[in-house]
Structure 1
Amino acid sequence: MEKVQMATRRRLHLLCILLSMCCMFSVSHGRAAPNFRVRAVNLGGWLVTEGWIKPSLFDGIPNKDFLDGTGLQLKSVTAGKYLCAESGGGTIIVANRTAASGWETFKLWRINETTFQLRVFNEQFVGLDTAGNGVDVVAVAKTPGASETFQIVRNSADSSRIRIRAPNGFFLQVKTEDLVTADSDGNGSWGDDDASVFITTISGRMQGEFQVTNGYGPAMAAQVMREHWRTFIVEDDFKFMASNGINAVRIPVGWWIASDPTPPSPYVGGSLDALDNAFFWASKHGIKVIIDLHAAPGSQNGYEHSSSRDGSQEWGTSDENIQQTVAVIDFLTARYAKNVSLYAVELINEPLAPKATLDSLTKYYAAGYEAVRKHSSTAYVIMSNRLGEVDPKELFPLASGLKGSVIDVHYYNLYSSIFDNLSVQQNIDFVHTNRSAQLNQLTTANGPLTFVGEWVAEWQVSGAAKEDYQRFAQAQLEVYGRASFGWAYWTLKNVYNHWSLEWMITNGYIKLT
Structure 2
Amino acid sequence: MTMAYYSAILSSSCLFWILSFSLVSPQDLPLKAASLGNWLLIEGWMKPSLFDGIPNKDLLDGTHVQFMSIEQKKYLCADNGGGKSLILCGSSESNWETFRLWRINETFFSLRVSNKQFVGLENEGEGDKLVAVSTSPKSSEIFQIVREEGNNYQVRLQASNGQFVQVKSDTEITADGNGSSWDDNDPSVFNMTIGSSLQGEYQLTNGYGPDKAPQVMKDHRNTYITEEDFNFMSQNGINAVRIPVGWWIMYDPNPPKPFIGGSLEALDNAFKWSEKYKLKVIVDLHALRVSQNGYAHSATRDGFQEWGSSNIQETVDVIDFLAKRYATQPSLVAIELMNEPLSPGINLDDLKKFYKDGYDAVRKYTKDAYVIFSNRLGGDLKELISFSSNFGRVVIDFHMYNLFWEGFNSMTVQQNIDFIYNNRASAIKSVSDQGPLVFIGEWTCEWKVKNASKEDYQRFANAELDVFGRASFGWAYWAYKCDSNHWSLKWMIENGFISLS
Q: Structure 1 length as normaliser, TM-score?
A: 0.92
1:403 CA drift (Å): 1.0
2:10 paired residue number: none
1:267 corresponds to:
259
Which residue of structure 1 aligns with residue 428 of structure 2? 439
1:458 Cα deviation (Å)?
0.5
Pair 1:92-2:91 in alignment = no
5 Å matches for 1:447-462?
A: 447-462=435-450
Alignment of 1:91-490 (within 5 A): 91-130=84-123, 134-188=127-181, 190-318=182-310, 321-388=311-378, 390-444=379-433, 447-490=435-478
Q: Aligned partners of 2:381, 2:148: CA distance in 1, in Å?
A: 51
Aligned partner letter, 1:267: F
- Distance in structure 2 (CA, Å) of the matches to 1:296 and 1:131: 31
C-alpha distance in structure 2 between counterparts of 1:76 and 1:95, whole Å: 8
Structure 1 unaligned spans of 5+ = 1-22
* CA 348–133 in structure 1, closer or farther in 2 if over 3 Å, else same: closer
Q: Distance in 2 between matches of 1:471 and 1:73?
A: 45
Q: 1:65 aligns with which of 48, 53, 58?
A: 58
1:382-431 Cα distance to aligned partner (Å, 9 max, x none)? 0000011x221211222112111000000001011111111111111111
Aligned length: 483
| 1: CA distance, partners of 2:404 / 2:90 | 30
Aligned counterparts of 1:137 and 1:36: Cα–Cα separation in 2:
60
Task: Give the SS at the match of 1:375.
Answer: coil
TM-fit CA distance, 1:132:
9.6
Contact 1:96–1:178 (CA under 8 A) maintained in structure 2: no
Q: Which letter does structure 2 place at the counterpart of 1:347?
A: L
Taking the aligned partners of 1:36 and 1:163, their CA distance within structure 2 comes to: 59
Letter in 1 for 2:436: P
TM-superposed CA distance for 1:147, in Å, is 1.2
SS at match of 1:159: strand
| Equivalent in the alignment of 2:26 | 33
Q: Give the AA of the match of 1:115.
A: F
CA contact (8 A) 2:89 2:97 kept: no
Q: What is the alpha-carbon distance in structure 1 between the residues aligned to residue 312 and residue 385 of structure 2?
A: 21
Amino acid at match of 1:150: F
Task: Please state whether the residue corresponding to 1:377 is helix, strand or coil.
Answer: coil
Post-superposition offset of 1:31? 1.2
Residue 178 of structure 1, CA deviation = 2.1
Q: What is the CA–CA distance in structure 1 between the aligned matches of 2:439 and 2:345, rounded to whole Å?
A: 24
Letter in 2 for 1:42: S
Contact 1:457 1:472 in 2 (8 A): yes
Residue 192 of structure 1 deviates from its aligned partner by 1.4
Distance 1:326 1:489 in 2: 27
Distance in 2 of aligned mates of 1:219 and 1:380: 40
Cα distance change on mapping 1:444 and 1:183 into 2, 3 Å: same
Deviations along 1:191-239, one digit per CA (max 9) or x if unpaired, are 3122111111111100111111111112211111011111100011011
Paired residues of 1:72 and 1:200 also in contact (CA < 8 A) = yes
Q: d(CA) in 2 for partners of 1:124 and 1:259?
A: 29
**Residues 1:247 and 1:35: Cα distance change in structure 2 (over 3 Å):** closer
Whole-Å separation in 2 of the counterparts to 1:215 and 1:160: 20
**What's the secondary structure of 2:313's corresponding residue?**
helix
Q: What one-letter code is carried by the residue in structure 2 that aligns with 1:406?
A: V
Question: 1:80 offset after TM fit, Å?
Answer: 0.8
Cα distance in 1 for partners of 2:386, 2:242 equals 26
Any stretches of 5+ residues in structure 2 without a counterpart? 1-15
Task: Find the aligned partners of 2:37 and 2:452 in 1 and give their Cα distance.
Answer: 25
Partners of 2:356 and 2:319 lie apart in 1 by: 12
The DSSP-based 3-state class of the residue aligned with 1:147 is helix
1:12 paired residue number: none
User: Aligned to 2:222, what secondary structure does the other structure show?
Assistant: helix
Contact 2:125 2:140 in 1 (8 A): no
Q: Identity over the aligned pairs, expressed in percent? A: 57
Q: Give the Cα separation in 1 of the matches to 2:125 and 2:362.
A: 54
Go from structure 1 to structure 2 and tell me whether the alpha carbon gap of 1:132 and 1:504 turns closer, same or farther (over 3 Å shift): closer
State whether residues 30 and 380 of structure 1, in contact with CA within 8 Å, keep that contact through their aligned partners in structure 2.
no
The alpha-carbon distance between structure 1 residues 481 and 30, as it changes in their structure 2 partners (threshold 3 A), is: farther
TM-aligned CA deviation for residue 131 of structure 1: 6.9
Q: CA deviation at 1:317?
A: 3.5
Distance, in Å, in 1 between the alignment partners of 2:149 and 2:422 is 56
Cα distance between partner residues in 2 of 1:480 and 1:381: 20
| Counterpart contact for 2:70–2:191, Cα < 8 Å | yes
For residues 131 and 436 of structure 1, the distance between their equivalents in structure 2, rounded to whole angstroms, comes to 58
**Distance of 1:30 and 1:101 partners within structure 2:** 54
Give yes or no for contact 1:164–1:171 (8 Å, CA) kept in 2.
yes
Does the aligned pair in 2 maintain the 1:494–1:500 contact within 8 Å?
Answer: yes
- Structure 2: distance between partners of 1:235 and 1:34: 25
Deviation at 1:129, TM superposition (A): 1.4
Aligned-residue offset at 1:34: 5.2
Amino acid at match of 2:238: I
Output the CA distance in 2 between the equivalents of 1:172 and 1:59. 31
Whole-angstrom distance in 2 between the partners of 1:36 and 1:395: 22
Distance 1:399 1:237 in 2: 34
1:82: how far off?
1.1
2:5 matched to which residue of 1?
none
The Cα shift of 1:95 comes to 1.7
